[in-house]
Amino acid sequence: MTDVAATHDAIVLGAGAAGMLCAATAGQRGRRVLLVDHADEAGKKILISGGGRCNFTNIDTAPDRYLSANPHFATSPLSRYTPADFIALVERHGIAWHEKTLGQLFCDGSARQIVAMLRDECTAGGVTFALGRPVGEVGHADGLFRVGGATAPALVIATGGPSIPKLGATGLAYDLARRFGLKVVEPRPALVPLTLAGDEALFRALSGVATEVEARAGKGRFREAALFTHRGLSGPAILQISSYWRHGEAIAINFLPDEAADWLVAAKRARPRATLRAALAQRLPDRLAETLAERVALAGELANLPDRALAEVGRRLGGWEFRPNGTEGFAKAEVTIGGIDTAALSSRTMEARRVPGLYAIGEAVDVTGWLGGYNFQWAWASGVAAGLAL
Ligand code: FDA
């Protein structure tokens, strides 16, 4: 029900992925929606996502591919708005797409098509855009939220997390949440490169070398490429594992995920005159083989090395421990882990239980997906859940 004094039925803060689909959904249900963003262009993160092609969903979306203090929270929104729903929308707009790998769907053309699609959907819902405007004070009195000169009985926090400030990301969502008495689970950078220092800094000399690994940290285990950088470790396997890593902990890298621990013993029988470095170089990039062989410090021909020592090296290469000294921070993080505590929200509507009319969606909320289209799927699903409730 709309209060007579309200200028709108809902004010959505943040014209990103979640905010735009939420606004369009509510607008197409007849709600008068104002969509506010301090950026002068909507959907800036969408534009640069997926290398400019937007990895807009993942067909393997499932709740266990999301991290949250409450792992069950995402189940309801994700099951009510699925990758198939978003694919249907994309196809209605004539956007061609393809699966790249691991269920990841990308536009054939450009991420601009996704932003244009969302804008068209907003236009179809009569959504009013207020771009290039700072949000300023948010008032709340007599059941109405006030932003600038606009008032509405519903306010949706869709301003995302603080990752990549130079794209306009801020912590506004957390400030607003705290102001309305909602808890915030400590935000930290995720899907982010890890940095190496001290004894491990020598691996930085391998900058540019990539290889397929299995990376492990906490409950996370990912088989994808890892990349050495001038600051430490990156590549999809490392970005994935960064979400599970905590300061002070080690990550384990299996450099030879297809080999049994005793493969070097077999290599010794096959090529007794080879050095360890040469044996490693048969399966790994040359420079990496050299560095690992130096670290293991087993000199001479395989024939002269005891089987036991070779089996031990095989085991070490299967779970090489790195102790990152940090991450490259919010400046380089694709997403933020943590955020508005889901305990305060309804998983059906995304509305705050104790503050009627206040909603939070998208990355602002403590739900973070794996790399590969999962985060956009969360933005769409949570946005639609709120849009249907406004
Ligand atoms: P989003 O960040 O999209 O939108 C928030 C909006 O709020 C922005 O428009 C911002 O300007 C506005 N805002 C912020 N503070 C404000 C303030 N103080 N006042 C007013 N407005 C404010 N995910 C994925 O699934 N597939 C992919 O391919 C990629 N690729 C990718 C690449 C890169 C480089 C990054 C940084 C991130 C990705 N992601 C991704 C993650 C994905 O971009 C992210 O999860 C979603 O954009 C989150 O959607 P939201 O709408 O919640 O926030």
pLDDT in tens, 269-303: 999 999 999 999 999 999 999 999 999 998 899 99
pLDDT at 5: 77
CB 323 within 8 A of CB 348: no
**How many CA within 13 A on the CB side of residue 105?**
21
pLDDT digit string, tens, across residues 31-80? 999 999 999 999 999 999 999 999 999 999 999 999 999 999 999 999 99
55 lines ligand 1 (CB under 6 A): yes
Q: pLDDT at residue 1 above 50?
A: no
Cα–Cα distance, 347 to 53 (Å, whole number):
30
pLDDT digit string, tens, across residues 240-265? 999 999 999 999 999 999 999 899 99
Query: Which residue has the least CA distance to atom 15 on ligand 1?
Result: 170
Distance 357 CA to ligand 1 centre (A): 23
Distance 137 CA to ligand 1 centre (A): 22
Distance 259 CA to ligand 1 centre (A): 40
Could you tell me the CA-to-CA distances from 241 to 15, 228, 251 in Å, in that order?
29, 15, 8
270: three-class secondary structure by DSSP: helix
Query: Which residue has the least CA distance to atom 21 on ligand 1?
Result: 37
Band of the pLDDT at 3, cuts 50, 70, 90? very low
Ligand 1 pocket, mutate which of 13, 40, 45, 375 (most atoms under 8 A from CB): 45
Complete domains list, the chain, with CATH = 10-189+333-389 (3.50.50.60), 194-327 (2.40.30.10)
Whole-number percent of the chain with pLDDT over 70: 99
pLDDT at 261: 85
pTM greater than 0.90: yes
Length of the chain, please?
A: 390
pLDDT digit string, tens, across residues 137-175? 999 999 999 999 999 999 999 999 999 999 999 999 999
Q: 212-228 burial string, b = 16+ CB within 10 Å, else e?
A: bbbbbbeebebebebbb
Q: 334-372 burial string, b = 16+ CB within 10 Å, else e?
A: bbbbbbbbbebbbbebbbbeebebbbbbbbbbbbbbbbb
Q: What does the DSSP assignment read for 340-377?
A: E-GGGB-TTT-BBSSSTTEEE-GGGBS-EEPSSSHHHH
281: three-class secondary structure by DSSP: helix
pLDDT at 376: 98
**What residue type is assigned to position 312 of the chain?**
E
The encoded tokens of residue 244 equal 């599970």
Residue 78 main-chain phi, psi, to 5 deg: -65, -30
Cα–Cα distance, 19 to 133 (Å, whole number):
15
